[in-house]
Amino acid sequence: MSRKYFGTDGIRGEIGKTPMTPDFALKLGWAAGKVLTKQGHPLVIIGKDTRISGYMLETALQAGLVAAGVDVHLLGPMPTPAVSYLTCTFRASAGIVISASHNPYQDNGVKFFSSKGSKLADEVEEEIEQYLEHDLKTVSSEKLGKVTRILDAGGRYIEFCKRAIPNNISLDSLRIVVDCANGATYQVSPNVFIELGADVITIAAEPNGININHNCGATSLDTLIKRVKQYRADIGIALDGDGDRLMMVDHTGTVVDGDETIAIIAQHKHQEGSLGNDVVGTLMSNLGLQQAIEKMGINFHRANVGDRYVMKLLRQYEGVLGGEGSGHIIIRDRIPTGDGTIAALQILHAMISSGQSLYELKQVMKKYPQTLINVRTQTKINLEENKVIQTAVSGAEEQLGNRGRVLLRASGTEPLIRVMVEGDNPEETAQLAEDIALVVEKEAEGHRRSTD
């Protein structure tokens, strides 16, 4: 079945436009409830980030769920990974997060977790979509669901995060700047580091409903860099609006991205003997990460872009570590979804255990220069069957040899072909990317004309 509303990370869109409207959210809650009530009398956990529209969607979703006979626990503002964790601890049938992650406040979204705290299976999302086509019918009064607000949700999550590092590890030697993106982590994540002993300077922790991700957080690091230098901090930690993404800054003010974070955690867990034999990245993961992992004697696998695909390969290979350069890091032996706070704790643990700075730890990976060019297209092109494009790609790959790689892929959300080239020479890499992009652009134009 082709899904109409669910994407790779739930349902997302601009508020006031379908599907991000109160009437759709009401129907979505009811449809999800109809699927869940097939297995008895379910309980659903709902958390949200700090967007002003979250109140509207939360009210509509809970009304739909209650109308279908589902009990609801409301968490209030809570990071996405916290909802995953609390779904498990409350033995809930499902968890719902109202968030558009790193998007601006005008957008919002709804994503679901299974009873095991992982992303909902495709077939369950498809079944929910089928019920969206039915008329909403409320159960009889005695079967209506009940709504409860959970007041200690934040404290539960804080304690869970603290258990991610050994009890004998204290952060009292570290000064940390934490950027909460004016999002869902503002009440919990700084307290995790404070309670573990760190000297914490918190920024972007004053949400007002419309400042989430605005010039702050994991997608906007300028302020964090300034504060790390200003306070002479050991490390800067940037989370995104819903807390599942992590970017960092070392004491020199240099950004440490998701690929470098994975490499550091992999080295630390490998030395501990807790890594296993496999690490998962994506098609976009830097070649330097692959080489660093393989140098440890560990297998490196590339998944399609998206944390659900990373998780799928982790399950397949029984791996415990995977993620994306954008900062989605999954540490599967801790939690079955991306968690920026948990990932940051692994880095801090590595720093304390090794006595090394973040700057020193990131030397485990040599990052290859990477050029990415987006070619806008008006019609779909079969990249694998286009001989002209494949000839251009083959020529670039032959020139690079084992010094780099070439990747072309169609965007899943926009009419774009992404041309990515990475190698050890930035000038060569940029030129090859431009050459291939020009070929793709010409072929796209020729294909458009042939179909007009």
Residue 229 belongs to a domain: yes
Which has more confidence, 122 or 109?
Answer: 109
Residue 152 structure tokens:
């200690």
Which has more confidence, 40 or 25?
Answer: 25
Nearest-angstrom CA–CA distance, 120 and 259: 26
Same domain, 388 and 286: no
Assign residue 185 a region (left: φ > 0; alpha: ψ between -120 and 50; beta: otherwise): alpha
Residue 118 belongs to a domain: yes
Nearest-angstrom CA–CA distance, 364 and 357: 12
Same domain, 276 and 391: no
Of 335, 364, 393, the residue at which a domain comes to its end is 364
Residue 285 has pLDDT above 70, yes or no: yes
Which residue among 53, 93, 101, 285 is the active-site one?
101
Same domain, 302 and 320: yes
- Of 54-58, 117-121, 266-270, 418-422, least confident by mean pLDDT is 117-121
- When pLDDT is cut at 50, 70 and 90, the band that residue 448 belongs to is low
Q: Report the DSSP pairing between strands 416-423 and 404-410.
A: antiparallel
Same domain, 311 and 410: no
Same domain, 336 and 442: no
Residue 6 belongs to a domain: no
Same domain, 109 and 252: no
Q: What pLDDT, on the 0 to 100 scale, is given for residue 129?
A: 96
Same domain, 350 and 428: no
Overall average pLDDT of the 402-427 stretch: 88
Q: What pLDDT, on the 0 to 100 scale, is given for residue 452?
A: 53
101 is annotated as an active-site residue:
yes
- When pLDDT is cut at 50, 70 and 90, the band that residue 444 belongs to is confident
Overall average pLDDT of the 307-321 stretch: 94
Residue 5 belongs to a domain: no
- When pLDDT is cut at 50, 70 and 90, the band that residue 412 belongs to is low
63-91: pLDDT as tens digits: 999 999 999 999 999 999 999 999 999 99
Q: What is the CATH number of the domain that holds 265?
A: 3.40.120.10
Q: In what order do the strands lie in the sheet with 235-239?
A: 199-203, 175-179, 235-239, 246-250, 255-256
Same domain, 233 and 97: no
- Total domain count, the chain: 3
Residue 440 belongs to a domain: yes
Same domain, 97 and 214: no
346-364: pLDDT as tens digits: 999 999 999 999 999 999 9
Residue 1 has pLDDT above 60, yes or no: no
Same domain, 259 and 382: no
Same domain, 193 and 313: yes
Q: Tell me the C-alpha to C-alpha distance, in Å, between residue 202 and each of 49, 150, 275, 338.
A: 18, 25, 31, 22
Q: What pLDDT, on the 0 to 100 scale, is given for residue 2?
A: 65
Of 364, 396, 413, the residue at which a domain comes to its end is 364
Of 90, 120, 151, the residue at which a domain comes to its end is 151
Range of the domain at 141: 11-151
Residue 194 has pLDDT above 70, yes or no: yes
Q: What is the CATH number of the domain that holds 378?
A: 3.30.310.50
Residue 85 belongs to a domain: yes
Overall average pLDDT of the 393-419 stretch: 89
Residue 450 has pLDDT above 80, yes or no: no
- When pLDDT is cut at 50, 70 and 90, the band that residue 413 belongs to is low
Same domain, 316 and 375: no
Residue 4 belongs to a domain: no
